[in-house]
Amino acid sequence: MNLTKEKITTIDVYLKENGVKYWDVRIELIDHVASKLEDNPEIILNKTFLIKEFGTNISLNKVIDKKTTLLIKKYRKLHYKEAIQLFKSPIKILGVFTFIVLYYLIFSKFNTKFFIRISFILFYLPFLVSLLISAYNSIKKNKSVHIESSLNFILLGIILINPLLINIKSDAHFNQKLTLFILLTLHTVWIFSGYKVYLKTFKEYSKIHQMT
Protein backbone atom coordinates (compact mmCIF):
# COMPACT_ATOMS: atom_id res chain seq x y z
CA MET A 1 0.00 0.00 0.00
CA ASN A 2 1.30 3.45 -0.94
CA LEU A 3 0.97 5.82 1.99
CA THR A 4 0.41 9.50 1.46
CA LYS A 5 3.25 11.85 2.28
CA GLU A 6 1.24 13.12 5.25
CA LYS A 7 0.85 9.61 6.70
CA ILE A 8 4.53 8.80 6.18
CA THR A 9 5.46 12.02 7.98
CA THR A 10 3.10 11.18 10.87
CA ILE A 11 4.76 7.77 11.39
CA ASP A 12 8.27 9.12 10.85
CA VAL A 13 7.82 11.93 13.38
CA TYR A 14 6.41 9.52 15.96
CA LEU A 15 9.37 7.15 15.52
CA LYS A 16 11.88 10.00 15.78
CA GLU A 17 10.22 11.34 18.91
CA ASN A 18 10.52 7.89 20.48
CA GLY A 19 14.21 7.42 19.84
CA VAL A 20 14.42 5.69 16.45
CA LYS A 21 17.40 7.64 15.12
CA TYR A 22 18.16 5.34 12.16
CA TRP A 23 16.37 6.26 8.94
CA ASP A 24 16.63 2.71 7.54
CA VAL A 25 14.96 1.26 10.65
CA ARG A 26 12.19 3.85 10.35
CA ILE A 27 11.63 2.87 6.71
CA GLU A 28 11.22 -0.78 7.70
CA LEU A 29 8.72 0.15 10.40
CA ILE A 30 6.82 2.44 8.02
CA ASP A 31 6.62 -0.43 5.51
CA HIS A 32 5.28 -2.62 8.30
CA VAL A 33 2.51 -0.10 9.01
CA ALA A 34 1.76 0.23 5.29
CA SER A 35 1.23 -3.53 5.02
CA LYS A 36 -1.01 -3.52 8.07
CA LEU A 37 -3.13 -0.67 6.71
CA GLU A 38 -3.44 -2.51 3.42
CA ASP A 39 -4.72 -5.63 5.18
CA ASN A 40 -7.01 -3.59 7.46
CA PRO A 41 -8.31 -0.51 5.60
CA GLU A 42 -10.58 0.39 8.51
CA ILE A 43 -7.58 1.25 10.73
CA ILE A 44 -7.27 4.94 11.56
CA LEU A 45 -3.68 6.12 11.52
CA ASN A 46 -3.18 8.25 14.62
CA LYS A 47 -0.97 8.39 17.70
CA THR A 48 -3.17 5.92 19.58
CA PHE A 49 -2.69 3.33 16.83
CA LEU A 50 1.08 3.96 16.69
CA ILE A 51 1.43 3.55 20.47
CA LYS A 52 -0.50 0.29 20.27
CA GLU A 53 1.57 -0.90 17.31
CA PHE A 54 5.07 0.12 18.40
CA GLY A 55 4.84 1.08 22.03
CA THR A 56 6.97 3.98 23.17
CA ASN A 57 10.69 4.62 23.64
CA ILE A 58 11.48 1.46 25.63
CA SER A 59 9.72 -0.89 23.21
CA LEU A 60 11.29 0.72 20.17
CA ASN A 61 14.76 0.55 21.76
CA LYS A 62 14.26 -3.21 22.04
CA VAL A 63 13.42 -3.31 18.33
CA ILE A 64 16.64 -1.43 17.53
CA ASP A 65 18.70 -3.71 19.82
CA LYS A 66 17.28 -6.79 18.12
CA LYS A 67 17.97 -5.30 14.69
CA THR A 68 21.55 -4.43 15.67
CA THR A 69 22.19 -7.97 16.93
CA LEU A 70 20.98 -9.43 13.63
CA LEU A 71 23.13 -7.00 11.65
CA ILE A 72 26.25 -7.89 13.62
CA LYS A 73 25.75 -11.50 12.49
CA LYS A 74 25.10 -10.33 8.93
CA TYR A 75 28.23 -8.21 8.69
CA ARG A 76 30.36 -10.85 10.39
CA LYS A 77 29.43 -13.25 7.58
CA LEU A 78 30.07 -10.59 4.93
CA HIS A 79 33.42 -9.82 6.54
CA TYR A 80 34.51 -13.46 6.42
CA LYS A 81 33.30 -13.75 2.84
CA GLU A 82 35.22 -10.64 1.78
CA ALA A 83 38.40 -11.94 3.46
CA ILE A 84 38.11 -15.16 1.47
CA GLN A 85 37.51 -13.19 -1.73
CA LEU A 86 40.90 -11.51 -1.26
CA PHE A 87 42.54 -14.79 -2.18
CA LYS A 88 40.39 -15.39 -5.26
CA SER A 89 41.36 -12.25 -7.18
CA PRO A 90 44.85 -12.08 -8.80
CA ILE A 91 45.04 -8.32 -8.23
CA LYS A 92 44.07 -8.62 -4.56
CA ILE A 93 46.48 -11.53 -4.07
CA LEU A 94 49.24 -9.36 -5.55
CA GLY A 95 48.30 -6.56 -3.15
CA VAL A 96 48.42 -8.89 -0.14
CA PHE A 97 51.71 -10.38 -1.33
CA THR A 98 53.24 -6.91 -1.81
CA PHE A 99 52.26 -5.89 1.72
CA ILE A 100 53.71 -9.10 3.19
CA VAL A 101 57.00 -8.62 1.30
CA LEU A 102 57.36 -4.99 2.41
CA TYR A 103 56.44 -5.85 5.99
CA TYR A 104 58.89 -8.75 5.94
CA LEU A 105 61.69 -6.44 4.76
CA ILE A 106 61.04 -4.22 7.80
CA PHE A 107 60.89 -7.38 9.95
CA SER A 108 64.23 -8.70 8.70
CA LYS A 109 66.23 -5.49 8.28
CA PHE A 110 65.45 -3.54 11.44
CA ASN A 111 65.80 -4.15 15.16
CA THR A 112 62.94 -5.22 17.42
CA LYS A 113 62.27 -1.75 18.86
CA PHE A 114 61.85 -0.13 15.44
CA PHE A 115 59.78 -3.03 14.13
CA ILE A 116 57.42 -2.81 17.11
CA ARG A 117 56.91 0.91 16.46
CA ILE A 118 56.05 0.30 12.82
CA SER A 119 53.74 -2.56 13.77
CA PHE A 120 51.84 -0.44 16.26
CA ILE A 121 51.45 2.32 13.66
CA LEU A 122 50.01 -0.25 11.27
CA PHE A 123 47.60 -1.33 13.99
CA TYR A 124 46.50 2.02 15.40
CA LEU A 125 46.24 3.96 12.12
CA PRO A 126 43.15 1.99 10.94
CA PHE A 127 41.77 2.30 14.48
CA LEU A 128 42.14 6.09 14.34
CA VAL A 129 40.54 6.23 10.90
CA SER A 130 37.63 4.09 12.15
CA LEU A 131 37.13 6.37 15.15
CA LEU A 132 37.10 9.46 12.94
CA ILE A 133 34.55 7.87 10.60
CA SER A 134 32.45 6.81 13.60
CA ALA A 135 32.60 10.35 15.04
CA TYR A 136 31.55 11.80 11.69
CA ASN A 137 28.64 9.36 11.38
CA SER A 138 27.52 10.14 14.94
CA ILE A 139 26.98 13.84 14.16
CA LYS A 140 25.13 13.22 10.92
CA LYS A 141 21.45 14.06 11.01
CA ASN A 142 20.47 10.93 9.07
CA LYS A 143 22.01 7.84 10.62
CA SER A 144 21.94 4.34 9.13
CA VAL A 145 22.00 1.27 11.35
CA HIS A 146 23.50 -0.74 8.49
CA ILE A 147 26.38 1.67 7.93
CA GLU A 148 27.00 1.99 11.67
CA SER A 149 26.93 -1.79 12.24
CA SER A 150 29.39 -2.51 9.41
CA LEU A 151 31.84 -0.01 10.92
CA ASN A 152 31.31 -1.17 14.50
CA PHE A 153 32.34 -4.69 13.51
CA ILE A 154 35.73 -3.34 12.38
CA LEU A 155 36.13 -1.43 15.65
CA LEU A 156 35.19 -4.51 17.66
CA GLY A 157 37.93 -6.55 16.00
CA ILE A 158 40.52 -3.85 16.72
CA ILE A 159 39.45 -3.50 20.36
CA LEU A 160 39.58 -7.25 20.95
CA ILE A 161 43.10 -7.62 19.58
CA ASN A 162 44.50 -4.57 21.40
CA PRO A 163 45.15 -6.32 24.78
CA LEU A 164 47.07 -9.06 22.98
CA LEU A 165 49.31 -6.51 21.28
CA ILE A 166 49.97 -4.73 24.58
CA ASN A 167 50.87 -8.06 26.16
CA ILE A 168 53.24 -8.91 23.33
CA LYS A 169 54.96 -5.55 23.68
CA SER A 170 55.48 -5.92 27.44
CA ASP A 171 56.32 -9.63 27.66
CA ALA A 172 59.96 -10.35 26.87
CA HIS A 173 59.32 -14.10 26.73
CA PHE A 174 57.51 -13.70 23.43
CA ASN A 175 59.38 -13.83 20.18
CA GLN A 176 58.05 -10.32 19.70
CA LYS A 177 59.07 -9.68 16.10
CA LEU A 178 57.80 -12.97 14.71
CA THR A 179 54.57 -12.86 16.73
CA LEU A 180 53.85 -9.30 15.63
CA PHE A 181 54.70 -10.12 12.02
CA ILE A 182 52.18 -12.97 11.90
CA LEU A 183 49.51 -11.17 13.94
CA LEU A 184 49.67 -7.85 12.08
CA THR A 185 49.72 -9.55 8.69
CA LEU A 186 46.48 -11.36 9.51
CA HIS A 187 45.07 -8.25 11.16
CA THR A 188 45.76 -6.06 8.12
CA VAL A 189 44.02 -8.53 5.81
CA TRP A 190 41.07 -8.55 8.24
CA ILE A 191 40.90 -4.74 8.44
CA PHE A 192 41.14 -4.36 4.67
CA SER A 193 38.26 -6.80 4.24
CA GLY A 194 36.26 -4.90 6.83
CA TYR A 195 36.71 -1.59 5.06
CA LYS A 196 35.68 -3.18 1.76
CA VAL A 197 32.42 -4.32 3.37
CA TYR A 198 31.95 -0.90 5.00
CA LEU A 199 32.44 0.99 1.73
CA LYS A 200 30.01 -1.28 -0.12
CA THR A 201 27.45 -0.83 2.66
CA PHE A 202 27.99 2.95 2.73
CA LYS A 203 27.47 3.27 -1.04
CA GLU A 204 24.43 0.96 -1.04
CA TYR A 205 22.56 2.65 1.79
CA SER A 206 23.56 6.19 0.81
CA LYS A 207 22.00 5.48 -2.58
CA ILE A 208 18.85 4.06 -0.93
CA HIS A 209 18.59 7.12 1.31
CA GLN A 210 18.80 9.48 -1.68
CA MET A 211 15.90 7.62 -3.27
CA THR A 212 13.64 7.87 -0.20
- Which pLDDT score, from 0 to 100, does residue 198 have? 92
Closest by alpha carbon to 157, among 186, 121, 135, 177?
Answer: 186
Given a cut of 90, whether residue 43 has pLDDT beyond it is: no
pTM score, two decimals? Answer: 0.81
Regarding whether 103 and 200 lie in a shared domain, the answer is yes
Q: Band of the pLDDT at 170, cuts 50, 70, 90? A: low
Residue 54 sits at φ, ψ, to 5 deg, of: -110, -20
pLDDT per position as a tens digit, 192-204: 888 999 999 999 9
Given a cut of 70, whether residue 61 has pLDDT beyond it is: yes
Regarding whether 79 and 39 lie in a shared domain, the answer is no
Q: Band of the pLDDT at 1, cuts 50, 70, 90? A: low
Please check whether residue 145 lies inside any domain of the structure: yes
Please check whether residue 61 lies inside any domain of the structure: no
How many domains does the chain divide into? 2
Quickly list DSSP for 141-176.
Answer: SSB-HHHHHHHHHHHHHHHHHHHHHHHHHH-TTS-H
Regarding whether 113 and 44 lie in a shared domain, the answer is no
Regarding whether 170 and 76 lie in a shared domain, the answer is yes
| Mean pLDDT value across the chain | 85
- Which pLDDT score, from 0 to 100, does residue 169 have? 65
- Residue span of the structural domain in which 180 resides: 66-211
pLDDT per position as a tens digit, 64-117: 888 888 888 899 899 889 988 888 888 888 988 898 899 889 888 888 888 888
- Which pLDDT score, from 0 to 100, does residue 144 have? 93
Please check whether residue 60 lies inside any domain of the structure: no
- Which pLDDT score, from 0 to 100, does residue 171 have? 58
Task: Answer for the pair 65, 20: CB distance below 8 angstroms, yes or no.
Answer: no
Please check whether residue 17 lies inside any domain of the structure: yes
Please check whether residue 41 lies inside any domain of the structure: yes
Regarding whether 166 and 84 lie in a shared domain, the answer is yes
Please check whether residue 72 lies inside any domain of the structure: yes
- Which pLDDT score, from 0 to 100, does residue 126 have? 84
Regarding whether 186 and 148 lie in a shared domain, the answer is yes
Residues 118 and 45: their CA atoms lie apart, in Å, by 60
Regarding whether 85 and 10 lie in a shared domain, the answer is no
pLDDT per position as a tens digit, 138-166: 888 889 999 998 988 788 877 878 777 77
Regarding whether 113 and 43 lie in a shared domain, the answer is no
